A = this chain, B = another copy of it.
């Protein structure tokens, strides 16, 4: 890696990581619970398959949230899952600057996310939801819509 060392390129904030291990909920109930958690304002939530004692396949439920939402989301986890305890720890985070724009493709409008580091746009990412909707409507493979949106000339940028 001969690349020159870089100064901090993003902005900094703090997030909480909430976790609990679950071996007494079904996959169905877990699928429901994670939708509730995302709807309640978590920044992200995901499952990791783990091997728990007594030969039990379990999952680790992880929730990332803003510090102010910690208490409310812990209460939600205690109520909506079978866990008897929710643990959490703060993490620092370096975040790229984001802007959005909108471009026209032959099938319709697609929003895009621009990733900005040190003031420069380093990547352009079409919103999958928009591309997926157009791909379904027009019976076009998703990748073709995504590709068209990626190379389209950008419209107005929003902060």
Contact = CB atoms under 8 A, between A and B. Distances in A.
Interface residues of A, number: 90
A90 B93 contact: no
Contacts of A153: none
Contacts of A90: 89
Given A86-B93, A123-B82, A53 B50 contact: no
Contacts of A108: none
B84 A92 contact: no
Given A23-B28, A27-B58, A55-B34, A80 B141 contact: yes
Interface in A80-123: 80, 82-96, 98, 113, 115, 117, 122-123
27 contacts: A7-B75, A8-B71, A8-B75, A9-B79, A10-B78, A17-B87, A21-B46, A23-B26, A27-B52, A27-B59, A29-B143, A30-B56, A33-B142, A34-B53, A44-B53, A46-B58, A47-B50, A49-B49, A74-B94, A79-B122, A83-B96, A84-B113, A84-B115, A85-B93, A85-B96, A87-B94, A88-B93
Interface of A: 1-3, 5-10, 15, 17, 19, 21-36, 38-41, 44-60, 62, 64, 71-72, 74-76, 78-80, 82-96, 98, 113, 115, 117, 122-123, 125, 128, 132, 135, 139, 141-143, 146, 151
